Structure 1
């Protein structure tokens, strides 16, 4: 129990350090790679999320989707990798090589598609080295460069708004 509190405090400390030192990229490079972070406890509608890559003209081999679940049990999906709180050490560091490689990849765009306030998901979004971050509504505006306020279940509205904004920003 003590380690759980220490772990949460460490993740929050690391999260604030990342957010306070975050640099915003300002380039007009076209979108070629896409990363998506989602909460497996909220949705596992992988096929609909894959269509986001199609509207952005991202090749399937340049798309990487990771899911996070608060369940401590190993959850496997046939489509990609799912992570859980056991992938974080007591001091808030990531101890999963696959998860760390996702965060180290410089995606042209990262979509954080979750609405629940889960500390680990916020940490994954902040720690990602993506050049442009997009998410649905969140209270802390430091996580994403673009926030699209839509209902979580309405992925179609999210895709429509995303396409509109990246077109205006000359990203596609």
Structure 2
């Protein structure tokens, strides 16, 4: 129990260090690849995000979705890759090879679609090597380059706003 508290404190300290070192560089490169981070405890309809990718002209083979659950779910029929706090070590070290591979992928855009204030979800967003990060309203504004203030249930509004802002930033390919 004490070690768990020390681990969490260590991870929070490492997260703050990463956020302070984060450099934001917004370019006008077109969105060709899209990564999505979801909290499966909050939303589990993955088809919504496939339609979003199609809407912003991202090919299905350039879309990668990962799901996180604060408690490991064994009955996931529709989703293969669901990660839990057990996949994280001290100082934010990632123990899972597939998860580390996702984080090392240089996506053109990363969407963090979660509202829960989980340390592990924040780590996934911060450690991703994506060029441009979009999220919904969260407690720490340093995580994303663009924050769209909607609730999880207003996906159509989120989808329209993502399209609008990516068009304004000249990131949608025709």
For Structure 1 versus Structure 2, the TM-score category normalised by the shorter chain is over 0.9
Tell me the residue number matched to 1:8. 8
Tell me the residue number matched to 1:70. 70
Tell me the residue number matched to 1:147. 147
* SS of equivalent to 1:142: helix
User: How does 1:76-115 map onto structure 2 within 5 Å?
Assistant: 76-115=76-115
Q: TM-score, normalised by structure 2?
A: 0.94
Deviations, residues 71-99 of structure 1 (Å, cap 9, x unaligned): 04546443441100110124431100000
Contact 1:34 1:58 in 2 (8 A): yes
Q: Report how many residues are paired.
A: 172
Tell me the residue number matched to 1:135. 135
* SS of equivalent to 1:147: strand
- Write out the 4+ residue segments of structure 1 that deviate beyond 6 Å after TM superposition: none
User: How does 1:116-131 map onto structure 2 within 5 Å?
Assistant: 116-131=116-131
CA positional deviation for 1:112: 0.3
Query: Using the alignment, how far apart are the partners of 1:78 and 1:151 within structure 2?
Result: 24
Consecutive unaligned residues of structure 2, counting only runs of 5 or more, are none
Query: Using the alignment, how far apart are the partners of 1:3 and 1:76 within structure 2?
Result: 30
**Mean Cα deviation higher: 28-37 or 14-23:** 14-23
Tell me the residue number matched to 2:170. 170
* SS of equivalent to 2:143: coil
CA positional deviation for 1:25: 1.8
Query: Using the alignment, how far apart are the partners of 2:65 and 2:125 within structure 1?
Result: 13
* SS of equivalent to 2:142: coil
